[in-house]
Amino acid sequence: MEAFFEWFRVLYDTTGINLPFLYDSYDRGRMLDGFLTTVQLSVICLFFSVIIGIIGAWLQGSAFTWTRRIVNGYIQLFRNTPPLVQLYFFYFAIGTLLPKVETDWGGQAPMLGSFAWAVISLSFFAGAFNVEIFRSGIEAVPKSTVEAAEALGFTRLQIYMDITLPLAFRVCLPALNNNLVNLVKTTTLAYAIAVPEMLYEANQIWSDNVNVTEMMIFLLIAYFVLVGILVWAMNSWERKLKIPGYG
Amino acid sequence: MNWTPDQPMVSIKDVHKAFGDFEVLKGVSFDVMKGEVICIIGPSGSGKSTLIRCINALNDIQQGSILVEGQEVNDPNLDKLELRKKVGMVFQQYNLFPHKTALQNIMMAPIRVLKRDKKETEELARQLIRKVRLEGKEDSYPGELSGGQQQRVAIARSLAMKPDIMLFDEVTAALDPETVGEVLLTIKELAQDGMTCILVTHEMGFAREVADHIYFTDKGLIIEHGPPKTFFDKAKDPRTKEFLSQIL
Protein backbone atom coordinates (compact mmCIF):
# COMPACT_ATOMS: atom_id res chain seq x y z
CA MET A 1 0.00 0.00 0.00
CA GLU A 2 2.82 2.37 0.93
CA ALA A 3 4.44 1.67 -2.44
CA PHE A 4 1.19 2.57 -4.16
CA PHE A 5 1.00 5.90 -2.32
CA GLU A 6 4.70 6.56 -2.97
CA TRP A 7 4.10 6.13 -6.67
CA PHE A 8 2.02 9.33 -6.60
CA ARG A 9 4.90 11.22 -5.03
CA VAL A 10 7.04 10.04 -7.94
CA LEU A 11 4.21 11.06 -10.31
CA TYR A 12 4.32 14.55 -8.82
CA ASP A 13 8.11 14.76 -9.03
CA THR A 14 8.24 13.61 -12.63
CA THR A 15 5.07 15.13 -14.17
CA GLY A 16 3.97 17.86 -11.76
CA ILE A 17 0.53 16.25 -11.25
CA ASN A 18 0.08 16.87 -7.55
CA LEU A 19 -2.20 14.53 -5.59
CA PRO A 20 -1.07 15.06 -1.99
CA PHE A 21 -4.19 13.42 -0.57
CA LEU A 22 -2.69 10.16 -1.82
CA TYR A 23 0.99 10.36 -1.00
CA ASP A 24 0.83 12.60 2.07
CA SER A 25 -0.59 10.86 5.12
CA TYR A 26 -1.84 14.10 6.72
CA ASP A 27 -3.72 15.20 3.59
CA ARG A 28 -4.90 11.65 3.14
CA GLY A 29 -6.45 11.80 6.58
CA ARG A 30 -8.13 15.13 5.81
CA MET A 31 -9.54 13.90 2.54
CA LEU A 32 -10.81 10.68 4.08
CA ASP A 33 -12.47 12.64 6.89
CA GLY A 34 -14.09 14.91 4.32
CA PHE A 35 -15.30 11.96 2.29
CA LEU A 36 -16.74 10.23 5.36
CA THR A 37 -18.39 13.45 6.53
CA THR A 38 -20.05 13.83 3.13
CA VAL A 39 -21.23 10.23 3.21
CA GLN A 40 -22.50 10.63 6.77
CA LEU A 41 -24.25 13.91 6.02
CA SER A 42 -25.82 12.44 2.88
CA VAL A 43 -27.09 9.27 4.55
CA ILE A 44 -28.54 11.11 7.54
CA CYS A 45 -30.22 13.74 5.36
CA LEU A 46 -31.56 11.08 2.96
CA PHE A 47 -33.09 9.26 5.90
CA PHE A 48 -34.70 12.29 7.52
CA SER A 49 -35.88 13.83 4.26
CA VAL A 50 -37.68 10.60 3.36
CA ILE A 51 -39.22 10.45 6.84
CA ILE A 52 -40.34 14.08 6.49
CA GLY A 53 -41.77 13.23 3.08
CA ILE A 54 -43.74 10.26 4.46
CA ILE A 55 -45.10 12.16 7.46
CA GLY A 56 -45.81 15.31 5.42
CA ALA A 57 -47.73 13.41 2.77
CA TRP A 58 -49.73 11.72 5.53
CA LEU A 59 -50.55 15.06 7.15
CA GLN A 60 -51.56 16.47 3.77
CA GLY A 61 -54.41 13.95 3.78
CA SER A 62 -55.54 15.10 7.23
CA ALA A 63 -59.14 16.03 7.87
CA PHE A 64 -58.02 19.22 9.66
CA THR A 65 -57.73 22.25 7.43
CA TRP A 66 -54.99 23.80 9.54
CA THR A 67 -52.79 20.73 9.45
CA ARG A 68 -52.96 20.76 5.67
CA ARG A 69 -52.27 24.50 5.57
CA ILE A 70 -49.20 24.19 7.77
CA VAL A 71 -47.80 21.37 5.63
CA ASN A 72 -48.40 23.34 2.46
CA GLY A 73 -46.86 26.44 4.00
CA TYR A 74 -43.77 24.43 4.91
CA ILE A 75 -43.50 23.11 1.37
CA GLN A 76 -43.83 26.58 -0.17
CA LEU A 77 -41.29 28.07 2.21
CA PHE A 78 -38.60 25.45 1.68
CA ARG A 79 -39.18 24.85 -1.99
CA ASN A 80 -39.27 28.50 -2.99
CA THR A 81 -36.15 29.72 -1.18
CA PRO A 82 -32.50 28.90 -1.99
CA PRO A 83 -31.02 26.11 0.12
CA LEU A 84 -27.94 28.20 0.85
CA VAL A 85 -30.09 30.96 2.31
CA GLN A 86 -31.93 28.36 4.38
CA LEU A 87 -28.64 27.01 5.66
CA TYR A 88 -27.45 30.47 6.65
CA PHE A 89 -30.81 31.20 8.22
CA PHE A 90 -30.67 28.10 10.40
CA TYR A 91 -27.02 28.44 11.34
CA PHE A 92 -26.76 32.19 11.86
CA ALA A 93 -30.31 33.24 12.74
CA ILE A 94 -31.77 30.32 14.66
CA GLY A 95 -28.42 29.01 15.85
CA THR A 96 -27.52 32.22 17.69
CA LEU A 97 -30.91 32.37 19.37
CA LEU A 98 -30.39 29.03 21.06
CA PRO A 99 -28.79 28.99 24.50
CA LYS A 100 -25.08 28.28 24.72
CA VAL A 101 -23.75 25.24 26.50
CA GLU A 102 -20.62 24.95 28.59
CA THR A 103 -17.78 22.93 27.12
CA ASP A 104 -15.49 20.56 29.00
CA TRP A 105 -12.79 23.21 29.36
CA GLY A 106 -15.18 25.84 30.68
CA GLY A 107 -15.76 27.72 27.46
CA GLN A 108 -19.06 28.49 25.72
CA ALA A 109 -20.18 26.63 22.64
CA PRO A 110 -23.37 26.76 20.54
CA MET A 111 -25.91 24.11 21.41
CA LEU A 112 -25.89 22.72 17.90
CA GLY A 113 -22.80 22.61 15.73
CA SER A 114 -22.58 23.26 12.02
CA PHE A 115 -22.99 19.58 11.15
CA ALA A 116 -26.26 19.37 13.09
CA TRP A 117 -27.57 22.51 11.42
CA ALA A 118 -26.63 21.17 8.01
CA VAL A 119 -28.57 17.98 8.77
CA ILE A 120 -31.62 19.94 9.90
CA SER A 121 -31.55 22.45 7.08
CA LEU A 122 -30.88 20.03 4.22
CA SER A 123 -33.37 17.45 5.52
CA PHE A 124 -36.14 20.03 5.61
CA PHE A 125 -35.13 21.32 2.19
CA ALA A 126 -35.20 17.92 0.50
CA GLY A 127 -38.13 16.84 2.68
CA ALA A 128 -40.35 19.56 1.20
CA PHE A 129 -39.79 18.11 -2.26
CA ASN A 130 -40.27 14.58 -0.95
CA VAL A 131 -43.72 15.46 0.44
CA GLU A 132 -44.84 16.51 -3.02
CA ILE A 133 -43.20 13.48 -4.60
CA PHE A 134 -44.99 11.11 -2.22
CA ARG A 135 -48.26 12.94 -2.77
CA SER A 136 -47.99 12.34 -6.50
CA GLY A 137 -47.54 8.63 -5.79
CA ILE A 138 -50.40 8.53 -3.29
CA GLU A 139 -52.75 10.16 -5.74
CA ALA A 140 -51.95 7.42 -8.24
CA VAL A 141 -53.28 4.71 -5.88
CA PRO A 142 -56.85 3.84 -6.92
CA LYS A 143 -59.49 4.96 -4.46
CA SER A 144 -61.17 1.59 -4.83
CA THR A 145 -58.12 -0.19 -3.40
CA VAL A 146 -58.25 2.07 -0.36
CA GLU A 147 -61.97 1.44 -0.07
CA ALA A 148 -61.43 -2.31 -0.02
CA ALA A 149 -59.07 -1.86 2.92
CA GLU A 150 -61.61 0.37 4.66
CA ALA A 151 -64.26 -2.30 4.21
CA LEU A 152 -61.90 -4.79 5.88
CA GLY A 153 -61.70 -2.55 8.93
CA PHE A 154 -58.24 -1.04 8.40
CA THR A 155 -57.70 2.32 10.10
CA ARG A 156 -56.52 5.34 8.13
CA LEU A 157 -52.96 4.93 9.40
CA GLN A 158 -52.91 1.21 8.64
CA ILE A 159 -54.16 1.88 5.14
CA TYR A 160 -51.44 4.48 4.64
CA MET A 161 -48.62 2.31 5.94
CA ASP A 162 -49.72 -1.06 4.53
CA ILE A 163 -51.35 -0.18 1.25
CA THR A 164 -51.12 3.42 0.03
CA LEU A 165 -47.48 4.05 0.83
CA PRO A 166 -46.02 0.79 -0.54
CA LEU A 167 -47.94 1.33 -3.78
CA ALA A 168 -47.17 5.05 -3.93
CA PHE A 169 -43.49 4.31 -3.39
CA ARG A 170 -43.32 2.27 -6.53
CA VAL A 171 -44.95 5.01 -8.55
CA CYS A 172 -42.79 7.85 -7.26
CA LEU A 173 -39.42 6.13 -7.02
CA PRO A 174 -38.00 7.71 -10.21
CA ALA A 175 -38.90 11.17 -8.93
CA LEU A 176 -37.63 10.37 -5.44
CA ASN A 177 -34.43 9.11 -7.02
CA ASN A 178 -33.92 12.50 -8.70
CA ASN A 179 -34.48 14.43 -5.52
CA LEU A 180 -32.16 12.27 -3.46
CA VAL A 181 -29.43 12.66 -6.07
CA ASN A 182 -29.92 16.41 -5.79
CA LEU A 183 -29.73 16.17 -2.02
CA VAL A 184 -26.35 14.42 -2.08
CA LYS A 185 -25.03 17.12 -4.39
CA THR A 186 -26.53 19.86 -2.23
CA THR A 187 -24.54 18.64 0.80
CA THR A 188 -21.64 20.62 -0.67
CA LEU A 189 -23.47 23.76 0.49
CA ALA A 190 -22.62 22.76 4.06
CA TYR A 191 -19.15 24.04 3.12
CA ALA A 192 -20.57 27.52 3.63
CA ILE A 193 -21.09 26.94 7.36
CA ALA A 194 -17.74 25.17 7.69
CA VAL A 195 -18.93 21.59 7.89
CA PRO A 196 -15.71 19.67 7.12
CA GLU A 197 -17.18 17.73 4.24
CA MET A 198 -15.43 16.73 1.05
CA LEU A 199 -15.48 20.09 -0.73
CA TYR A 200 -14.31 21.86 2.42
CA GLU A 201 -11.39 19.49 2.93
CA ALA A 202 -10.47 19.66 -0.74
CA ASN A 203 -10.36 23.44 -0.40
CA GLN A 204 -8.00 23.09 2.58
CA ILE A 205 -5.73 20.87 0.54
CA TRP A 206 -5.62 23.08 -2.53
CA SER A 207 -4.98 26.12 -0.37
CA ASP A 208 -1.92 24.39 1.09
CA ASN A 209 -0.65 22.81 -2.09
CA VAL A 210 -1.88 25.13 -4.85
CA ASN A 211 -3.13 22.18 -6.88
CA VAL A 212 -6.59 23.52 -7.72
CA THR A 213 -6.92 21.76 -11.07
CA GLU A 214 -6.13 18.33 -9.66
CA MET A 215 -8.47 18.80 -6.71
CA MET A 216 -11.31 19.96 -8.95
CA ILE A 217 -10.95 16.92 -11.16
CA PHE A 218 -10.80 14.70 -8.12
CA LEU A 219 -13.92 16.27 -6.64
CA LEU A 220 -15.90 15.77 -9.83
CA ILE A 221 -14.90 12.13 -10.00
CA ALA A 222 -15.56 11.57 -6.30
CA TYR A 223 -19.09 13.00 -6.47
CA PHE A 224 -19.74 11.19 -9.72
CA VAL A 225 -18.86 7.89 -8.05
CA LEU A 226 -20.74 8.70 -4.85
CA VAL A 227 -23.95 9.66 -6.65
CA GLY A 228 -23.43 6.74 -9.03
CA ILE A 229 -23.53 4.35 -6.08
CA LEU A 230 -26.77 5.93 -4.83
CA VAL A 231 -28.38 5.73 -8.27
CA TRP A 232 -27.30 2.14 -8.62
CA ALA A 233 -28.75 1.27 -5.22
CA MET A 234 -32.01 3.06 -5.97
CA ASN A 235 -32.36 1.36 -9.34
CA SER A 236 -31.78 -2.09 -7.95
CA TRP A 237 -34.28 -1.30 -5.21
CA GLU A 238 -36.76 -0.23 -7.87
CA ARG A 239 -36.27 -3.53 -9.66
CA LYS A 240 -36.63 -5.46 -6.43
CA LEU A 241 -39.92 -3.73 -5.66
CA LYS A 242 -41.39 -4.58 -9.03
CA ILE A 243 -44.59 -6.56 -8.59
CA PRO A 244 -45.19 -9.40 -11.03
CA GLY A 245 -48.06 -8.53 -13.33
CA TYR A 246 -48.46 -4.97 -12.02
CA GLY A 247 -47.79 -1.71 -13.80
CA MET B 1 -77.16 -3.79 21.68
CA ASN B 2 -79.63 -6.45 22.59
CA TRP B 3 -79.68 -8.13 19.24
CA THR B 4 -80.72 -11.77 19.16
CA PRO B 5 -80.53 -14.05 16.10
CA ASP B 6 -84.30 -14.17 15.78
CA GLN B 7 -84.33 -10.45 14.98
CA PRO B 8 -83.37 -9.20 11.51
CA MET B 9 -79.59 -9.25 11.02
CA VAL B 10 -79.84 -6.15 8.89
CA SER B 11 -82.77 -3.83 9.31
CA ILE B 12 -83.02 -0.92 6.89
CA LYS B 13 -85.67 1.71 7.54
CA ASP B 14 -86.59 4.67 5.38
CA VAL B 15 -83.04 5.29 4.15
CA HIS B 16 -82.45 8.52 2.25
CA LYS B 17 -79.18 9.31 0.56
CA ALA B 18 -78.26 12.16 -1.76
CA PHE B 19 -75.09 13.07 -3.59
CA GLY B 20 -75.39 16.84 -3.65
CA ASP B 21 -78.80 17.64 -5.06
CA PHE B 22 -79.25 14.23 -6.57
CA GLU B 23 -81.30 11.94 -4.37
CA VAL B 24 -80.13 8.39 -4.93
CA LEU B 25 -82.17 6.67 -2.23
CA LYS B 26 -85.61 8.02 -1.46
CA GLY B 27 -86.77 5.98 1.48
CA VAL B 28 -85.74 2.36 1.24
CA SER B 29 -86.70 -0.20 3.85
CA PHE B 30 -86.17 -3.93 4.15
CA ASP B 31 -85.02 -6.58 6.59
CA VAL B 32 -82.59 -9.43 6.18
CA MET B 33 -82.78 -12.41 8.51
CA LYS B 34 -79.82 -14.56 9.49
CA GLY B 35 -78.91 -17.03 6.73
CA GLU B 36 -81.01 -15.28 4.14
CA VAL B 37 -79.76 -14.53 0.64
CA ILE B 38 -81.07 -11.27 -0.75
CA CYS B 39 -80.64 -10.14 -4.32
CA ILE B 40 -81.11 -6.52 -5.31
CA ILE B 41 -81.72 -5.98 -9.00
CA GLY B 42 -82.66 -2.99 -11.06
CA PRO B 43 -81.49 -0.66 -13.81
CA SER B 44 -78.19 1.22 -13.61
CA GLY B 45 -78.35 4.30 -11.42
CA SER B 46 -81.26 3.00 -9.39
CA GLY B 47 -79.21 3.15 -6.19
CA LYS B 48 -78.47 -0.55 -5.71
CA SER B 49 -74.76 -0.19 -5.14
CA THR B 50 -75.19 2.91 -3.02
CA LEU B 51 -77.64 1.01 -0.86
CA ILE B 52 -75.32 -1.86 -0.02
CA ARG B 53 -72.37 0.49 0.41
CA CYS B 54 -74.40 2.24 3.10
CA ILE B 55 -74.70 -1.01 5.04
CA ASN B 56 -70.97 -1.06 5.89
CA ALA B 57 -70.73 2.74 6.09
CA LEU B 58 -68.66 3.25 2.94
CA ASN B 59 -71.39 5.76 2.14
CA ASP B 60 -73.13 7.72 4.85
CA ILE B 61 -76.87 8.33 4.79
CA GLN B 62 -78.81 11.51 5.42
CA GLN B 63 -81.91 10.07 6.93
CA GLY B 64 -83.26 6.79 8.19
CA SER B 65 -81.76 3.92 10.08
CA ILE B 66 -79.63 0.91 9.27
CA LEU B 67 -79.27 -1.62 12.05
CA VAL B 68 -76.65 -4.33 11.66
CA GLU B 69 -77.07 -6.87 14.44
CA GLY B 70 -78.59 -4.08 16.47
CA GLN B 71 -75.76 -1.62 15.79
CA GLU B 72 -76.97 1.68 14.32
CA VAL B 73 -74.89 2.58 11.26
CA ASN B 74 -76.37 6.08 10.91
CA ASP B 75 -74.57 7.37 13.97
CA PRO B 76 -71.78 9.96 14.01
CA ASN B 77 -70.04 7.99 16.77
CA LEU B 78 -70.27 4.74 14.86
CA ASP B 79 -67.55 2.23 15.71
CA LYS B 80 -66.68 1.45 12.10
CA LEU B 81 -64.22 -1.27 13.03
CA GLU B 82 -66.87 -3.12 15.03
CA LEU B 83 -69.28 -2.82 12.08
CA ARG B 84 -66.78 -3.94 9.48
CA LYS B 85 -65.80 -6.99 11.51
CA LYS B 86 -69.39 -8.13 11.04
CA VAL B 87 -69.86 -7.11 7.42
CA GLY B 88 -67.66 -8.38 4.60
CA MET B 89 -67.73 -6.82 1.16
CA VAL B 90 -66.70 -7.88 -2.33
CA PHE B 91 -66.41 -5.32 -5.11
CA GLN B 92 -66.98 -5.26 -8.84
CA GLN B 93 -63.31 -4.49 -9.53
CA TYR B 94 -61.97 -7.06 -6.99
CA ASN B 95 -59.72 -4.33 -5.47
CA LEU B 96 -57.06 -6.75 -4.28
CA PHE B 97 -53.85 -5.31 -2.90
CA PRO B 98 -51.60 -5.59 -5.96
CA HIS B 99 -48.33 -5.71 -4.00
CA LYS B 100 -49.36 -8.73 -1.96
CA THR B 101 -49.68 -12.35 -3.02
CA ALA B 102 -53.05 -14.08 -2.96
CA LEU B 103 -52.23 -15.63 0.40
CA GLN B 104 -50.96 -12.35 1.86
CA ASN B 105 -54.07 -10.55 0.62
CA ILE B 106 -56.17 -12.97 2.64
CA MET B 107 -53.95 -12.87 5.73
CA MET B 108 -53.48 -9.13 5.95
CA ALA B 109 -56.73 -7.99 7.54
CA PRO B 110 -56.97 -10.71 10.23
CA ILE B 111 -53.39 -10.02 11.29
CA ARG B 112 -53.45 -6.24 11.13
CA VAL B 113 -57.05 -5.49 12.07
CA LEU B 114 -57.97 -8.38 14.36
CA LYS B 115 -54.35 -8.88 15.61
CA ARG B 116 -54.66 -12.60 15.01
CA ASP B 117 -51.73 -14.98 15.29
CA LYS B 118 -49.78 -15.22 12.03
CA LYS B 119 -49.49 -19.00 11.94
CA GLU B 120 -53.15 -19.55 12.69
CA THR B 121 -54.14 -17.01 10.07
CA GLU B 122 -51.98 -18.65 7.45
CA GLU B 123 -53.69 -21.93 8.11
CA LEU B 124 -57.08 -20.25 7.76
CA ALA B 125 -55.96 -18.52 4.56
CA ARG B 126 -54.82 -21.79 3.00
CA GLN B 127 -58.13 -23.34 3.96
CA LEU B 128 -59.99 -20.45 2.29
CA ILE B 129 -57.82 -20.74 -0.83
CA ARG B 130 -58.96 -24.35 -1.09
CA LYS B 131 -62.55 -23.33 -0.48
CA VAL B 132 -62.49 -20.97 -3.45
CA ARG B 133 -60.59 -23.58 -5.50
CA LEU B 134 -57.35 -21.72 -6.00
CA GLU B 135 -54.84 -24.30 -4.72
CA GLY B 136 -51.45 -23.56 -6.24
CA LYS B 137 -52.15 -19.85 -6.60
CA GLU B 138 -51.19 -18.96 -3.03
CA ASP B 139 -48.02 -17.15 -4.06
CA SER B 140 -49.35 -15.51 -7.21
CA TYR B 141 -49.75 -11.77 -7.30
CA PRO B 142 -53.16 -10.36 -8.34
CA GLY B 143 -51.66 -9.20 -11.63
CA GLU B 144 -50.85 -12.80 -12.46
CA LEU B 145 -54.40 -14.02 -11.89
CA SER B 146 -57.42 -13.87 -14.16
CA GLY B 147 -60.40 -11.71 -13.22
CA GLY B 148 -62.37 -14.68 -11.94
CA GLN B 149 -59.44 -15.88 -9.86
CA GLN B 150 -58.87 -12.41 -8.43
CA GLN B 151 -62.51 -12.15 -7.49
CA ARG B 152 -62.37 -15.47 -5.68
CA VAL B 153 -59.30 -14.30 -3.77
CA ALA B 154 -61.30 -11.18 -2.89
CA ILE B 155 -64.11 -13.36 -1.54
CA ALA B 156 -61.62 -15.41 0.47
CA ARG B 157 -60.02 -12.20 1.76
CA SER B 158 -63.37 -11.02 3.01
CA LEU B 159 -64.23 -14.41 4.54
CA ALA B 160 -60.96 -14.45 6.46
CA MET B 161 -62.46 -11.78 8.72
CA LYS B 162 -65.21 -14.29 9.57
CA PRO B 163 -68.03 -11.83 8.88
CA ASP B 164 -71.66 -12.55 9.70
CA ILE B 165 -72.91 -10.87 6.55
CA MET B 166 -71.42 -10.67 3.07
CA LEU B 167 -72.15 -7.86 0.62
CA PHE B 168 -71.53 -8.50 -3.06
CA ASP B 169 -71.54 -5.43 -5.28
CA GLU B 170 -71.97 -6.57 -8.90
CA VAL B 171 -69.11 -8.96 -8.41
CA THR B 172 -69.38 -10.59 -11.80
CA ALA B 173 -70.02 -7.44 -13.85
CA ALA B 174 -66.34 -7.00 -14.80
CA LEU B 175 -65.78 -10.66 -15.67
CA ASP B 176 -65.89 -12.38 -19.02
CA PRO B 177 -68.78 -14.85 -19.35
CA GLU B 178 -66.61 -17.93 -18.96
CA THR B 179 -65.27 -16.94 -15.55
CA VAL B 180 -68.59 -15.69 -14.19
CA GLY B 181 -69.58 -19.28 -13.45
CA GLU B 182 -66.67 -20.03 -11.15
CA VAL B 183 -67.34 -16.94 -9.04
CA LEU B 184 -71.07 -17.62 -8.85
CA LEU B 185 -70.37 -21.19 -7.80
CA THR B 186 -68.25 -19.90 -4.93
CA ILE B 187 -71.01 -17.56 -3.79
CA LYS B 188 -73.59 -20.30 -4.13
CA GLU B 189 -71.60 -22.60 -1.87
CA LEU B 190 -71.27 -19.79 0.60
CA ALA B 191 -75.02 -19.27 0.60
CA GLN B 192 -75.58 -22.97 1.07
CA ASP B 193 -73.25 -22.90 4.10
CA GLY B 194 -75.73 -20.50 5.67
CA MET B 195 -73.90 -17.20 5.16
CA THR B 196 -76.18 -14.18 5.15
CA CYS B 197 -75.65 -12.56 1.76
CA ILE B 198 -76.82 -9.35 0.15
CA LEU B 199 -76.06 -9.24 -3.54
CA VAL B 200 -76.42 -6.57 -6.15
CA THR B 201 -76.43 -8.44 -9.39
CA HIS B 202 -77.41 -8.52 -13.04
CA GLU B 203 -77.26 -12.31 -13.15
CA MET B 204 -80.98 -13.07 -13.17
CA GLY B 205 -80.58 -16.82 -13.52
CA PHE B 206 -78.30 -16.83 -10.53
CA ALA B 207 -80.60 -14.60 -8.50
CA ARG B 208 -83.49 -16.91 -9.21
CA GLU B 209 -81.46 -19.92 -8.16
CA VAL B 210 -79.87 -18.76 -4.92
CA ALA B 211 -81.94 -15.88 -3.59
CA ASP B 212 -84.52 -16.23 -0.86
CA HIS B 213 -85.88 -12.84 -1.68
CA ILE B 214 -85.52 -10.45 -4.62
CA TYR B 215 -85.78 -6.67 -4.38
CA PHE B 216 -86.27 -4.60 -7.51
CA THR B 217 -85.15 -0.98 -7.22
CA ASP B 218 -85.74 1.89 -9.60
CA LYS B 219 -84.98 5.57 -9.10
CA GLY B 220 -84.09 5.15 -5.45
CA LEU B 221 -87.13 3.17 -4.37
CA ILE B 222 -87.98 -0.47 -3.95
CA ILE B 223 -90.65 -1.01 -6.56
CA GLU B 224 -91.39 -4.65 -5.99
CA HIS B 225 -90.07 -7.59 -4.03
CA GLY B 226 -90.81 -11.19 -3.34
CA PRO B 227 -89.43 -14.70 -3.41
CA PRO B 228 -87.81 -15.48 -6.79
CA LYS B 229 -90.65 -17.68 -8.03
CA THR B 230 -93.37 -15.10 -7.63
CA PHE B 231 -91.08 -12.21 -8.49
CA PHE B 232 -89.87 -13.52 -11.84
CA ASP B 233 -93.06 -15.22 -12.96
CA LYS B 234 -95.76 -12.98 -11.56
CA ALA B 235 -94.29 -9.50 -11.46
CA LYS B 236 -97.05 -6.95 -11.01
CA ASP B 237 -95.49 -3.54 -11.44
CA PRO B 238 -95.15 -2.39 -15.07
CA ARG B 239 -91.59 -1.12 -14.46
CA THR B 240 -90.52 -4.50 -13.12
CA LYS B 241 -92.13 -6.21 -16.06
CA GLU B 242 -90.40 -3.93 -18.51
CA PHE B 243 -87.01 -4.42 -16.83
CA LEU B 244 -87.41 -8.18 -16.75
CA SER B 245 -88.54 -8.34 -20.36
CA GLN B 246 -85.41 -6.47 -21.40
CA ILE B 247 -83.04 -8.58 -19.38
CA LEU B 248 -84.45 -12.10 -19.60
B19: part of which helix (H) or strand (E)? strand B10-19
Q: Does any domain span residue A80?
A: yes
Cα distance from B233 to chain A (closest Cα, Å)?
36
As a whole number, mean pLDDT of residues B226-240 equals 90
Q: Does any domain span residue A247?
A: no
CB atoms B112 and A245 under 8 Å: no
Among partner residues A151, A154, A244, which is closest to B144 by beta-carbon distance? Answer: A244
Average pLDDT of every residue of chain A: 94
CB atoms A148 and B84 under 8 Å: no
Judge whether residue A215 has pLDDT over 60.
yes
What's the domain count of chain A?
Answer: 1
ipTM: 0.91
As a whole number, mean pLDDT of residues A211-235 equals 95
Would you place residue A247 in the very low, low, confident or very high pLDDT band (cuts 50, 70, 90)?
low
pLDDT for res A99: 86
A119-172 pLDDT, tens per residue?
999 999 999 999 999 999 999 999 999 999 999 999 999 999 999 999 999 999
SS3 of chain A: CHHHHHHHHHHHHHHCCCCHHHHCHHHHHHHHHHHHHHHHHHHHHHHHHHHHHHHHHHHHCCCCHHHHHHHHHHHHHHHCCCHHHHHHHHHHHHHHHCCEEECCCCCEEECCCHHHHHHHHHHHHHHHHHHHHHHHHHHCCCHHHHHHHHHCCCCHHHHHHHHHHHHHHHHHHHHHHHHHHHHHHHHHHHHHHCCCCHHHHHHHHHHHHCCHHHHHHHHHHHHHHHHHHHHHHHHHHHHHHCCCCCC
Rounded Cα–Cα distance for residues B18 and B26 (Å): 8
A29-85 pLDDT, tens per residue?
999 999 999 999 999 999 999 999 999 999 998 989 999 999 999 999 999 999 999
Q: Does any domain span residue A246?
A: no
Among partner residues A148, A163, A246, which is closest to B91 by beta-carbon distance? Answer: A148
Burial grade of B39 (CB within 10 A; 0-12, 13-18, 19 or more): buried
Would you place residue B136 in the very low, low, confident or very high pLDDT band (cuts 50, 70, 90)?
very high
Q: Does any domain span residue A62?
A: yes
CATH number for the domain harbouring residue A180 = 1.10.3720.10
- In chain B the domains, ranked by start, together with CATH numbers, are 10-247 (3.40.50.300)
Contacts of B58 in chain A (CB under 8 A): 147, 150-151
Amino acid at B102: A
As a whole number, mean pLDDT of residues B139-163 equals 95
Cα distance from A85 to chain B (closest Cα, Å)?
41
Q: A108 forms bridges with which residues in the sheet?
A: A102
Judge whether residue B95 has pLDDT over 80.
yes
Whether residue A132 contacts residue A172, with contact meaning beta carbons closer than 8 Å, is answered with: no
Least confident span in A44-58, B89-103, B221-235? B221-235
- A-to-B residue pairs, Cβ atoms closer than 8 angstroms: 76
Domain that holds residue A72: 2-241
Q: Does any domain span residue A126?
A: yes
As a whole number, mean pLDDT of residues B178-185 equals 90
CB atoms A152 and B161 under 8 Å: yes
Least confident span in A183-187, B148-152, B164-168, B231-235? B231-235
Q: B68 forms bridges with which residues in the sheet?
A: B10, B71
Q: Does any domain span residue A192?
A: yes
**Predicted TM-score (pTM) of this structure:** 0.87
Q: How many residues does chain B have?
A: 248
B27-79 pLDDT, tens per residue?
999 999 999 999 999 988 888 999 999 999 999 999 999 999 999 999 999 99
Rounded Cα–Cα distance for residues B96 and A96 (Å): 54
CB atoms A166 and B157 under 8 Å: no
As a whole-number percent, the residues of chain B with pLDDT over 70 amount to: 99
Among partner residues B84, B97, B140, which is closest to A151 by beta-carbon distance? Answer: B84
